[in-house]
Amino acid sequence: MAFPWSCWTDWVHSPDKKITMPVMSPGADADKNENSPLFWLEDLDYTYPDGTRALEGVTLQINQGDRIALVGSNGSGKSTLVRHLNGLLAVQKGVLTFKGKPLRQDHLRALRFSVGMLFQDPDDQLFCSTLYEDVAFGPMNKGIPRKQVDDLVREHLTAVGLDHLRHKPAHHLSYGQKKRAAFAAVLAMAPEVLILDEPSANLDPCQEKVFLDLLRKYQGTLIVIDHDLLFLWDICTRAIVLDHGSIHHNYLIKDLVSQPQALRSHGLDFSFRFTCCGNHPNTRHVHHHHHPDTHAHEHARHQKKTVTKKTAPPLLELQHYSFTHPDGTPGIRDINLAIHDHETIALIGENGAGKSTLASCLLGINRGRGYFLYRGRELDFRQRGRLWREVGMVFQHCADQLFCPSCWEEVAFGPQQLGLCDDEVADRVAAALAKVRLNGFEERVPLNMSDGERKRLAIAAAMAMGPNLLILDEPTAGLDPANEELLMDILEEMRIARLLITHDLFFINRLSRRAVVIHEGQIIRDYLTADFLADDHLETVSGLDYTYKNACTDHIFQLQNTRSVG
């Protein structure tokens, strides 16, 4: 579908029309009173139609140039709050002003030109037939001439590393690439206020750094929702903590992260990441060179013995397997991978490397070329279609696989398709919900639950099928520390094979025995997790450069220790 440039021709190219771009600097379009807040919220309440109370008595001042980290546990009201700031949700009760003016329907157009927002799910804001059109859509609606729009699109797609994909449709991209494309579309509007909802989720380390570099340069007002305090530490100066829809504290961010007790009280304690590897920051560089863990090395030697003694045929195996997308783009090439019963494998690689494509081939969804074996027996494509009984998967955005009106029906759906009797279905549902700590949630509506709860519900729905292999695509993305720890506990209790697609070193180190690294559609490493953690060459081979996280982790770790000693 061609982009409808002609819609704006009559007035966009008017010779007497002067185009003025918003300037990304504090005070760019300030109210006459320069000391007035940019946003003022007083006693703001919000309740969703199903009766869920999302905000309660929120009073908050946001000034021009503020760089705010908006933090809190899953379901604390963060996304609801920022949806008020950009006019997506109307005020039900309380006061909300922007530049001293109450937000009314007739003010929303100006507000949305001034306030840019990156949603948690990029699919919510990518809707055109190519990336070029997605990024151009906003500037064209502002009346910017086409030549200037062309320059803006190229500039911002280049900034996020996607200009070579400008003519690709968004649905052909990886999840991380979609997030970068959506970010480019927001930046192209040159907003005075930039709001980002979980920007670091699903990004590889190098792409996180791309985001960080762009956000450091941004001179407007910045509001970021994220659970990765290492990410927030580098770009924000102020931290606002929400808990059950209310603001509990308003800190300098260095004061929040330096106090483990404060983090624990808000459900934000991420110190378990420091203790994954011998009570020290868990990065590959630090772990290998500075803080050797004798127990970890013994465990690795045991793993190696276990792996070399395997004699039974693999649960699933791909031999010389390749897949090409319908548009001709290579997905995976010459893959050789064996997955054995009960083992846990981390599948690692940069955004767009082919991780999700490989997972879809293992599920039997995508048909490639090569050998596909199940327990030593080759399966044709028709036979692979029955693997949904044996292989379960939790998607990156788990809401994509939740479609029933209640949790009980969601978990029961799969077993019912197996033709099981009602009693067997009920037993499986009860057992699966108990495994993921969702007892008592049977009648809850999945789409009204927090991200952490929905993630666990998706796991329960997969486990109720009785699979021998569970594939989880970016399972920790968007989870607060408490939900992340709970998820790790749940996965550790499983007695089936698990394939974890993730960039999270801490998650990899705690759960996986084996690490498989994929780069540009090919497996370039397949070794023990301990060897992966010690492999410094990966930073240049496949973009898995954790340098900035090493630095932030070291800084915060030392800050907490200094504070506790003081």
Domain at 5-269, CATH homologous superfamily? P-loop containing nucleotide triphosphate hydrolases (3.40.50.300)
Separation between Cα atoms, residue 460 and residue 95, nearest integer Å: 41
Cα distances (angstroms) measured from residue 391 to each of 73, 133, 313, 457, 544: 31, 38, 17, 17, 28
State how far the alpha carbon of 246 is from the alpha carbons of 73, 81, 92, in Å.
Answer: 12, 10, 16
Residues 6+ apart with CB under 8 A from 62: 37, 38, 39, 40, 68, 85, 221, 223
What's the confidence (pLDDT) of residue 511? Answer: 92
Give residues with Cβ within 8 angstroms of 541, minimum separation 6: 517, 519, 524
Residue 565 has pLDDT above 70, yes or no: no
CB of 315 closer than 8 Å to CB of 497: yes
Tokens of residue 217, six digits: 């340069």
Question: What is the reported pLDDT for 274?
Answer: 57
| The two three-digit tokens of residue 505, written as one number | 């070193």
When pLDDT is averaged across residues 515-523 and rounded to a whole number, the result is 94
Mean pLDDT in residue range 71-78? 88
What is the phi-psi region of residue 174: left when phi exceeds 0, alpha when psi lies from -120 to 50, beta otherwise?
Answer: beta
Least reliable range by pLDDT among 112-116, 356-360, 509-513, 533-537:
533-537
Between residues 79 and 305, the one the model is more confident about? 79
Query: Could you tell me the pLDDT band of residue 482, with boundaries at 50, 70 and 90?
Result: confident
pTM beyond cutoff 0.75: yes
Per-chain mean pLDDT for the chain:
83
CA distance 71 to 266: 9
* Residue 199 · residue 118 · CB < 8 Å: yes
Q: What is the mean pLDDT of residues 280-287?
A: 42
How many other C-beta atoms lie within 10 A of the C-beta of residue 202? Answer: 27
Most confident of 292-296, 308-312, 524-528: 524-528
Closest among 453, 516, 504 to 483, alpha carbons compared:
453
Residue showing tokens 């949806």: 83
